[in-house]
Chains A and B, each alone.
Chain A
């Protein structure tokens, strides 16, 4: 199975981090820093804030490598989730603080802002993590403005297949709108990840 190699890499990385290998931390950063920073920036829209989230996420992983459970999914997903949660939490904090200081808007506005930022960040992740054929089809149809027949020709697949890819790609993307419990104001952290951040 092609998925075995990356999972082995994930487990190995976890062991090396647990072992306290500084070189592993550097490699971890090289692999995931743009992912973490990109997600945080999508949610918070601010470079300095995204820098801070990046530091917090890597610190958390370095201090708690055992918190990652390879059975739950790839390391990449776990780190993306940590980044996402932490960024959304920060957004909620800053927005609430602004509201408390007498800023414009209502708590509903706040929730809407948070939900919107959260979905946008999750969509980014889904697009980068979806299978390349689906991403390529969306890229052609959306950014290059090719219709599905042209998309099929460009990709060398049948028109049926082009339609299938476009639909499946959007279906995957649409899950970005599913609300996660971590984004509820109570922040109960029902799923164990990231509470110690």
Chain B
């Protein structure tokens, strides 16, 4: 949103003699103070005053002209105006108490100063109950001052108010003050914070005072990615939470997709992050709905099914709270907790729940959750038409490295189910075997040697039989099932079967 320049209540546009008082640094009452009636100049539009007319700035009469910085208005002291900001404590009205908070910092600052306007002044009792010519009494006219200053009352009421101001000093003072306050209103500025600023600020802080409980390095990508997604969610409107999102991944070597909403995606992240949370002993967001097998897809389905209504933006709070809890918990557990096993469901559908489980060490699982968070944030950003950048190079590197390390096991599983070519040679565990060189370009990239025949073998440059080169973000999108394996690699060299197997294995890392 672009912000129109603020019309300046102080602009010296020669609208009236009271301009001279506008610069009283202490905001003290003008010489005429209370008592003496002071007639404010008619509201002057920006056009009338010849000043620049800011683009898109309300109706002309709303940009109030000059005005004295009147003080001593009965700030909220009247029986009809609730508690004064300065009198919040013990106020029976919760709204008034909250109002006190609103000006808390202004109040603290002015404590030692003039205190002008912040204290409660009693009504002067001027014309209480007296009726003006038009049949409005003082109380009614006073209650109209806010609406009048905002040009939000009828022409007849405006005239009555203005007439009244000529004979009522306290109301005239307040009128000036409120009209001046109108000049401070402007559209909310939505200035996107640079996501890199968070990293820079936190690093600068931690450099000055090293933390006693640091974040494990492997939790940093999750910390950064959840913060980035949360900032995106902060910016989107209520309706956008229901924008359709198509989740895409690879299953049986074919692209599949599933329709949900922005809120549905956050519910998905909440449910799957809960896998890590429960492994750490945190409360499961699924509660009694949690499936017996801790599997990402089952958990997501269970969460979606459990709510009678589609998820709304209300899901943001629980999701964000859980991310903060996770970060905090792994910090306290320390870097050594990275080896703790996190279950990701059953390894073999035939063996069922009693069979072996898929596990990732906590350190990898936090990187995996960061990866999912980024990928789904991109899905959301696309759905609501917002720009979204890839992770920082350092974090991207962690994600690429995790995917690369998962490839040999995935290849072995695919071989077992006949989806990848059989091993060409037997390799002793730890010995170098036939390898594919995965060269990931760009910041955060690097080089990985993927052993092709056995996950136990070590990848090596000497045994390289194939070489693929692709961009880091592209590789991640392949592993997320957002890019088809046939279209992924920019550069390919060597054993075509090996290349095909590795690219399809990468795509099969994806799931709902």
Contacts and interface: CB of A to CB of B under 8 A. Distances in A.
Interface in A168-195: 168-182, 184, 190-191, 193
B27 A179 contact: yes
Interface size range of chain B in the complex: 35 or more
Contacts of B21: none
Nearest to B95: A131
A129 interface: yes
B189 A38 contact: yes
Contacts of B198: 26, 29, 33
Contact of B105 (A3, A54, A77): A77
Interface string B96-119: 011101111111111111111110
Given A130-B99, A179-B110, A115 B205 contact: no
Please classify the interface of chain A as helix (H, G, I), strand (E, B), loop, or mixed, using the class held by over half of its residues: helix
B327 A167 contact: no
A179 B26 contact: yes
A115 B95 CA distance: 29
Contacts of B82: 164, 168
B236 to A, nearest CB: 14
Given A22-B213, A173-B184, A180 B178 contact: no
Contact of A172 (B26, B102, B114): B102
Contacts of A8: none
A190 B112 CA distance: 7
A108 B116 CA distance: 21
Contact of B181 (A1, A112, A170): A170
Contacts of B180: 174, 177
A3 B97 contact: yes
A21 to B, nearest CB: 5
Contacts of A168: 76, 81-82, 99, 146
B209 interface: yes
A73 interface: yes
Contact of B58 (A72, A145, A180): A145
B60 to A, nearest CB: 12
B69 interface: yes
Interface string A1-31: 1110000000000000001111111110110
B193 interface: yes
Interface in B159-200: 174, 177-178, 180-182, 184-185, 187, 189, 191, 193-194, 197-198, 200
Nearest to A185: B25
Contact of A167 (B58, B145, B193, B213): B145
B201 A125 contact: no
Contacts of B26: 179
A167 B85 contact: no
A118 to B, nearest CB: 10
B97 A148 contact: no
Contacts of B71: 178
11 contacts: A26-B223, A33-B201, A38-B189, A145-B152, A148-B153, A164-B146, A166-B147, A172-B76, A176-B181, A177-B184, A178-B109
